[in-house]
Structure 1
Amino acid sequence: MHTLSDHEFQRFQRFIHGAAGISLSSAKKSLVVGRLAKRLAARQLDSFHDYLALLEQREEHAEAQIAVDLLTTNETYFFREPKHFELLRRVAQASPSHQPFRIWSAASSTGEEAYSMAMVLADVRGEHPYEVVGTDISTRVLARARQGHYPMERIRQMPGDYLRRFCMKGTGPQTGTLLIQRPLRQKVNFLHLNLNERLPTLGSFDMVFLRNVLIYFNPETKRQVVHRVLETLPRGGWFCIGHSENLNDVGAPVEQVAPSIYRKV
């Protein structure tokens, strides 16, 4: 096993903060070793020092993206924090049927959150228009999200009716997995996006989920990201964050409606 010195870990901390705005605590040192050791083997390098030197080369954009992917990916599951999806159902039902309902999964990871959104909207909106946008900094998880293929243990909170209507259970070699049906997959647009940079033109959303990612940012980065994301919401738009997160000291133009639920003012 390759060892990672404190100085090298500090360089990785600077790298991931510069690339993604994420602040890695000292408790994450073993995570860095565990997730990046395979890249040393793949690139036939002898040390983390050599790997850091590789990342600092301008022409190594692809390797830098792989490192970001490995250090930022978090496992998730369908219908995580159900109260947010109950809110989505109510808001979508009250939305004018002739206007497209647009929702953004701003840290979509492998796509379970975005597809959960799409299931609720397909149920509530019927033939009325809606759009789900999922974005993430990791190209690797976005590729998995577009496939819509998941292990069955990710569905523990999915309503049984949705499982039957929107998913296909794997058989044979695919036993123990499910595939999101194509019509629903086509309703979700996954895009590569770094929340720590100026956003591309995404249009206006009725609701945004930015959940379980703010905890990785320092206070100033958190403030910038929240304000950047809120620019995509009109007054009265809904903003959901993770239950372990808050918007204290962010100075955001929102009012808190319930724990982790806000409306733009």
Structure 2
Amino acid sequence: MPSEEVFILFQRLVQKKLGIYLSKQKRLMLGHRLAKRLAKTNIASFSHYYRYINSPENSAELELALELITTNETFFFREPQHFDFLEKHILPQLNPNKAFKVWSAASSTGEEAYSIAMLLSQHYQAPWSLCASDVNKSVINHAKKGIYQNERAKLLPQHYKESFCCKGIDEYQGYIRVKPALRQRINFFCFNLLDPMEGLGQFDVIFIRNVMIYFEDETRQAIINAISKRLSVNGYLFISHSETLHGLEHKFELIQPAIYRLQARCL
């Protein structure tokens, strides 16, 4: 495990590069995730590894280290109340003559995006599109492949599993893979939430769950300001139940826990 002083250096590096604040409780996690890279690069200490990744000629290793530090595990239909609300309250009130647009703004390895896509494919007959982004290139590549351990699908309803997934065999025993027809419906891309969002277009629903807990208030405020401009009139914002907009300036109306609607006067 890195010393407290070295952990602070990594903490500042991650915040500078990604805007993510690592609490001191993440020190053990950081050490565990980077230990293999130290062994791979034959570097004896975390302090030497820190200096190594900050050298311009080692930018590829820096990118890899940042990806390892910020990767988060998730699973299908996490926080199922959100998907129930989408199905039962949002979809029935939509204009079927207008395309419905959704953005999974911190999609990690893709389980959230595929959960949304399965629900829309099953319950919404009008045109829809789904974008899914993450700052971490490796998890986006994982998401595009759509291969997951069965443990990640523990909350995936059986009828969705049968309709949209294939069961792994041989070396993929214990895995499922999302079928190509559904994978092709999602636009996966790498995106940093601190970057300008103007080119992303407008969305009716934005999921940004389990990511703002890693940002400090100033950064969270900037992200919420930018996100609000990407939502259509009366668009919905989903955050995780472990997060809140409390203490931030915003024009969202709380509808249910962790579900907000943008008030029209904000636009």
For 2:233 and 2:105, locate their aligned partners in 1 and report how far apart those are by CA, in whole Å.
19
Runs of 5+ consecutive residues of structure 1 not aligned to the other structure: none
Q: How far apart are 1:134 and its partner, in Å?
A: 0.7
| Deviations, residues 86-120 of structure 1 (Å, cap 9, x unaligned) | 12213123212222211111110000000000001
Corresponding residue number in structure 1 for 2:97: 98
Corresponding residue number in structure 1 for 2:120: 121
Give, as a single letter, the amino acid of the residue that structure 2 aligns with 1:111.
G
For 2:62 and 2:225, locate their aligned partners in 1 and report how far apart those are by CA, in whole Å.
27
The reply on whether 1:140 has 2:148 as its aligned counterpart is no
Deviates more, 1:108-117 or 1:218-227: 218-227
1:189-208 mapped onto 2 (5 Å cutoff): 189-199=187-197, 201-208=199-206
The percent of aligned pairs where both chains have the same amino acid is 39
Secondary structure at the aligned position of 1:60 is classed as helix
| Deviations, residues 189-228 of structure 1 (Å, cap 9, x unaligned) | 1110111222361111110011111111111111111212
For 2:228 and 2:194, locate their aligned partners in 1 and report how far apart those are by CA, in whole Å.
14
Number of residue pairs aligned between Structure 1 and Structure 2: 262
| Deviations, residues 155-187 of structure 1 (Å, cap 9, x unaligned) | 121111111111111122222110101010001
Corresponding residue number in structure 2 for 1:109: 108
For 1:232 and 1:200, locate their aligned partners in 2 and report how far apart those are by CA, in whole Å.
8
Give, as a single letter, the amino acid of the residue that structure 2 aligns with 1:175.
Q
Corresponding residue number in structure 1 for 2:234: 236
| Deviations, residues 44-87 of structure 1 (Å, cap 9, x unaligned) | 22221221112222343322211111111111000011111112
- Output the TM-score relative to the length of structure 2: 0.94
Give, as a single letter, the amino acid of the residue that structure 1 aligns with 2:3.
S
Runs of 5+ consecutive residues of structure 2 not aligned to the other structure: none
Secondary structure at the aligned position of 2:133 is classed as strand
For 1:159 and 1:87, locate their aligned partners in 2 and report how far apart those are by CA, in whole Å.
16
Q: How far apart are 1:9 and its partner, in Å?
A: 0.8
Give, as a single letter, the amino acid of the residue that structure 2 aligns with 1:117.
I
Deviates more, 1:133-142 or 1:44-53: 44-53
For 1:97 and 1:182, locate their aligned partners in 2 and report how far apart those are by CA, in whole Å.
25
Corresponding residue number in structure 1 for 2:172: 174
Corresponding residue number in structure 2 for 1:33: 31
For 1:148 and 1:12, locate their aligned partners in 2 and report how far apart those are by CA, in whole Å.
31
For 1:252 and 1:62, locate their aligned partners in 2 and report how far apart those are by CA, in whole Å.
38
Secondary structure at the aligned position of 1:163 is classed as helix
Give, as a single letter, the amino acid of the residue that structure 1 aligns with 2:94.
S
For 1:223 and 1:60, locate their aligned partners in 2 and report how far apart those are by CA, in whole Å.
33
- Output the TM-score relative to the length of structure 1: 0.95
> Which of 170, 183, 186 is equivalent to 1:185?
183
| Deviations, residues 122-157 of structure 1 (Å, cap 9, x unaligned) | 11223x321111111111111110000001111121
**CA, structure 1 residues 60+93, in 2 after alignment: closer, same or farther (shift >3 Å)?**
farther
For 1:181 and 1:50, locate their aligned partners in 2 and report how far apart those are by CA, in whole Å.
44
Q: CA RMSD in A?
A: 1.3
Give, as a single letter, the amino acid of the residue that structure 1 aligns with 2:76.
F
